[in-house]
């Protein structure tokens, strides 16, 4: 009866649109066991079997291995908020794939699961850090797995209301000016350099400035936009977490308590402020 723990993730981190993602220390935990008939139980929103991402991914892993999937009970025993920009669909997919490999002892490697997860999700920026942990840079159909330094810590500001990624994707322009493309490329390179410890934190604000998607998405979420603007005005490097509506701030670990207090003062009623730390291990089976 394998139990799979998969971290939440934050994609984009501002300028790294669809190429950067990082794993956070909040988790989805799902228990898999063979059963007389397939069923979904436990905590959270229990989607019917045909619509359940974890079950669909479980079946996809068996298909990839050339085996028939068994009837399975999928029990959610630990959750974090979904539809808030923390990679809930990615963690559900990764849980299904890893759970299938563990339950059936499938002959699938991590690369097989990574490519299958990206195929199911449609993009790799959340599923790869959910699977591998740490900071993941997607490049040319592959990826580079890195580790964020301890001297930087994340603060996650979880919005009260849900927001669907599909609506946020529709407003992103298909073309950028040369100036905006250059600015985003430079910021993404700087952000990876800072997060992995090859540069200091003095350019963290500039490294989290985006011109590709946030200027178009934030107006769809007035509450998120207001907190985003106020935190950055206060010198806290803050970006959307994925497509929103939640936010993630990157701060010097020595300034974490102070920055978290400021975030708590600024968020609307019903929001949550978490300091989850980084997850460095990715999906794990116990």
Do 258 and 236 meet the contact criterion of CB atoms below 8 Å apart?
A: no
In a domain, 36, yes or no: yes
Q: Examine the domain organization and report whether 21 and 53 are in the same domain.
A: yes
Do 135 and 20 meet the contact criterion of CB atoms below 8 Å apart?
A: yes
| Per-residue model confidence (pLDDT) at position 89 | 92
H or E stretch covering 95: helix 88-104
Q: Examine the domain organization and report whether 117 and 167 are in the same domain.
A: no
| Per-residue model confidence (pLDDT) at position 48 | 73
CA distance linking residue 97 with residue 230, whole number of Å: 40
| Per-residue model confidence (pLDDT) at position 46 | 65
pLDDT, tens digit (0-9, with 9 covering 90-100), for 12-52: 999 999 999 999 999 999 999 999 999 999 876 666 788 89
| Per-residue model confidence (pLDDT) at position 244 | 87
Last residue of a domain, one of 99, 130, 146: 146
Q: Examine the domain organization and report whether 11 and 135 are in the same domain.
A: yes
CA distance linking residue 190 with residue 2, whole number of Å: 40
| Per-residue model confidence (pLDDT) at position 53 | 93
CA 140 to each of CA 5, 110, 143, 264: distance values in angstroms, whole numbers, following the listed order: 28, 18, 8, 39
Q: Examine the domain organization and report whether 244 and 157 are in the same domain.
A: yes
Q: Examine the domain organization and report whether 141 and 188 are in the same domain.
A: no
Last residue of a domain, one of 87, 120, 146: 146
CA distance linking residue 88 with residue 75, whole number of Å: 16
Q: Examine the domain organization and report whether 8 and 97 are in the same domain.
A: yes
Q: Which two tokens stand for residue 157?
A: 């500001």
In a domain, 281, yes or no: no
Q: Measured at the alpha carbon of residue 45, what is the angle toward residues 40 and 50, in degrees to the nearest 5?
A: 50
| Per-residue model confidence (pLDDT) at position 95 | 98
In a domain, 282, yes or no: no
- Sites in the chain below the pLDDT cut of 50: none
| Per-residue model confidence (pLDDT) at position 149 | 97
In a domain, 279, yes or no: no
Owning domain of residue 178:
152-274
In a domain, 280, yes or no: no
Q: Examine the domain organization and report whether 38 and 167 are in the same domain.
A: no
Any idea what the CATH number is for the domain that residue 253 is in?
3.30.70.890
Last residue of a domain, one of 114, 146, 178: 146
Q: Examine the domain organization and report whether 142 and 17 are in the same domain.
A: yes
Q: How many distinct structural domains can be found in the chain? A: 2
Any idea what the CATH number is for the domain that residue 126 is in?
3.30.230.10
Q: Examine the domain organization and report whether 173 and 63 are in the same domain.
A: no
Sort strands 20-34 and 72-78 into parallel, antiparallel or unpaired: antiparallel
């Amino acid at each position: 009866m394998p139990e799979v723990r998969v971290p939440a993730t934050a994609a984009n981190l501002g300028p790294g649109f669809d190429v950067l993602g990082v794993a956070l220390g909040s988790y989805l935990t799902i228990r898999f066991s063979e059963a007389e008939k397939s069923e979904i139980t436990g905590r959270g929103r229990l989607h019917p079997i045909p619509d359940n991402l974890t079950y669909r991914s479980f079946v996809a892993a068996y298909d990839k291995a050339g085996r028939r999937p068994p009837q399975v009970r999928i029990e959610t025993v630990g959750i974090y908020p979904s539809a808030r920009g923390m990679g809930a669909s990615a963690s559900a997919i990764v849980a299904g794939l890893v759970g299938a490999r563990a339950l059936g002892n499938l002959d699938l490697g991590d690369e097989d699961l990574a490519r299958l997860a990206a195929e199911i999700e449609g993009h790799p920026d959340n599923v790869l850090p959910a699977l591998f942990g740490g900071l993941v840079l997607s490049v040319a159909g592959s990826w580079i797995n890195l580790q964020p330094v301890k001297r930087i810590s994340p603060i996650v500001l979880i919005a009260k209301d849900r927001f669907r990624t599909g609506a946020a994707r529709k407003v992103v322009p298909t073309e950028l000016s040369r100036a905006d493309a250059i600015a985003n490329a430079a910021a993404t390179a700087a952000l990876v350099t800072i997060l992995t410890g090859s540069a200091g934190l003095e350019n963290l604000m500039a490294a989290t400035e985006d011109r590709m998607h946030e200027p178009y998405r934030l107006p769809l979420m007035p509450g998120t936009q207001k907190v985003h603007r106020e935190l950055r005005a206060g010198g806290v490097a803050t970006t959307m977490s994925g497509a929103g509506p939640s936010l993630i701030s990157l701060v010097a670990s020595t300034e974490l308590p102070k920055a978290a207090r400021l975030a708590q003062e600024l968020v609307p009623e019903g929001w949550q402020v978490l300091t989850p730390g980084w997850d460095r291990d990715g999906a794990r089976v116990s």
